[in-house]
């Protein structure tokens, strides 16, 4: 099983039971000293946000990636993940790398909140690394986005020196669909790869994190023009976390099909890539209400395990 329900339950249980009995001060010390649960798998993820842009009870897109049980990476920083990060109560003192799939609000709005939260658990200087797509049209490049937030004259320029000294490096990634998979991060035996995708007119990237033979792929939001690239990136992945925001046509509003890929094509993608486990996320309320129908559509082509994400779900990427 790729989803270890028992481990997830024990994580939640220990987090919530301990949190309930602690005073605010103790809780703060608890977070600073770290309480990363003992995780048996080298690579795992906590879903911080399993929803889309609607305010419908789920946080927007955000995934905390744990390497050897330690929170190291954040993939997307959508609205609401700050609260979920606190609820997960993992040690974030080594969380300094963020991979943004694209710069929509439901994927990027809480980057400042993450930086603030991270600074709250460290007296030492912090160096953040942010990866995301190049700009196009009304969308800034990721480096321009970070510049507008944190550099002199930016909205939150105070943050870089508020409690500790912060520096930020940004890598803008290609948005040309013909660009091939590239390694963007190689450190401590972790290899992260990226490829360009398209989300309507929004430049986007998908990511694959590899460690000790295990791998997790994050699709981000994508329209069907991205399918060949995602098939390439997700080849043989243990865990494929895939945006599922529309029903098969004509079940969703027509304009959404220019932005998102319906379940039948997602199933074909997962089958073509040969992924072990498909976790559907970025769930809009119509999708969340139609899980049987969506699963049936996915199953036409894909015979592996498929589940629907929930906020704070803990998933291991087992071989
Ligand atoms: Zn989205």
Measured in Å, residue 4 CA sits from the centre of ligand 1 at 27
How many A from CA of 132 to the centre of ligand 1?
14
Cβ-contact 115, 134 below 8 angstroms: no
Helix (H) or strand (E) holding 74: strand 70-75
Residue with tokens 């703060």: 28
**Confidence bin at 317 (pLDDT 50/70/90):** very high
CA of 56 to the centre of ligand 1 (A): 14
CA of 53 to the centre of ligand 1 (A): 6
Higher pLDDT, 15 or 77: 77
Cite the DSSP H helix spans in the chain. 5-21, 24-33, 81-88, 105-108, 111-119, 142-150, 227-233, 263-273, 285-289, 291-299
Note whether residue 24 is domain-resident: no
Q: How do residues 254-269 score in pLDDT, each as one tens digit?
A: 999 999 999 999 999 9
Distance 52 CA to ligand 1 centre (A): 5
Tell me what pLDDT residue 33 has: 34
Residue 20 alpha carbon to ligand 1 centre in Å: 33
Sequence-ordered alpha helix ranges (H) in 34-159 = 81-88, 105-108, 111-119, 142-150
Distance 23 CA to ligand 1 centre (A): 36
Max CA pair span of the chain? 54
Q: Domain for residue 28, yes or no? A: no
What is the pTM (predicted TM-score) of this model?
Answer: 0.88
- CA 47 / ligand 1 centre spacing (Å): 15
How close is the Cα of 29 to the center of ligand 1, in Å? 34
Could you report how far apart the first and last alpha carbons of the chain are, in Å? 10
What whole-number distance in Å separates Cα of residue 4 and Cα of residue 292? 22
Coil, strand, or helix at residue 151? Answer: coil
Residue 280 lies in a domain: yes
Strand partners, 126: 166
Range of the domain at 124: 5-19+40-316
Is residue 210 assigned to a domain? yes
The reply to whether 34 falls in a domain is no
Is 164 a member of any domain? yes
In the reported structure, the alpha carbon of residue 111 is separated from the centroid of ligand 1 by a whole-number distance in angstroms of: 15
Which distant-in-sequence residues (6+ apart) come within 8 Å of 156 by Cβ? 112, 149, 150
For residue range 220-257, list pLDDT tens digits in order.
999 999 999 999 999 999 999 999 999 999 999 999 99
Into how many domains does the chain fold? Answer: 1
CATH number at residue 151: 3.60.15.10
Tokens 């981000």 locate to 220
Q: What is the mean pLDDT of residues 211-227?
A: 97
The rounded Å distance from CA 151 to ligand 1 centre is 26
199 neighbors 259 (Cβ within 8 angstroms): yes
């Amino acid at each position: 099983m790729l989803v270890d329900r028992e481990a997830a339950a024990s994580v939640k249980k220990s987090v919530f039971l301990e949190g309930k009995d602690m005073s605010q001060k103790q809780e703060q010390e608890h977070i600073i000293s770290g309480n990363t649960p003992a995780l048996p798998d080298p690579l795992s993820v906590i879903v911080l946000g399993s929803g889309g842009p609607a305010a419908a009870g789920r946080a927007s897109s955000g995934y905390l990636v744990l390497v050897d049980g330690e929170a190291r990476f954040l993939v997307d920083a959508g609205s609401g993940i700050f609260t979920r990060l606190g609820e997960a109560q993992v040690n974030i003192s080594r969380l300094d790398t963020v991979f943004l799939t694209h710069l929509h609000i439901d994927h990027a709005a809480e980057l400042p909140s993450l930086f603030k939260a991270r600074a709250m658990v460290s007296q030492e200087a912090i160096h953040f690394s942010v990866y995301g797509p190049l700009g196009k049209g009304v969308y800034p490049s990721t480096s321009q986005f970070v510049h507008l937030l944190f550099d002199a004259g930016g909205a939150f320029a105070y943050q870089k020196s508020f409690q500790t000294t912060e520096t930020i490096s940004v890598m803008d990634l290609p948005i040309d669909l013909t660009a091939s998979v590239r390694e963007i991060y190689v450190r401590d035996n972790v290899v992260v790869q990226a490829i360009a995708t398209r989300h309507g007119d929004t430049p986007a990237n998908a990511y694959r994190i590899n460690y000790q033979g295990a791998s997790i792929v994050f699709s981000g939001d994508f329209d069907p023009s991205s399918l060949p690239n995602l098939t390439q990136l997700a080849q043989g992945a243990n865990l494929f976390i895939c945006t599922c925001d529309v029903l098969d046509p004509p079940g969703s509003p027509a304009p959404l099909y220019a932005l998102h890929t319906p379940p039948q094509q997602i199933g074909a993608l997962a089958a073509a890539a040969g992924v072990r486990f498909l976790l559907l996320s970025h769930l809009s309320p119509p999708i969340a209400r139609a899980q049987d129908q969506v699963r049936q559509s996915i199953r036409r082509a894909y015979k592996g395990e498929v589940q629907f994400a929930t906020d704070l779900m803990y998933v291991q990427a087992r071989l």
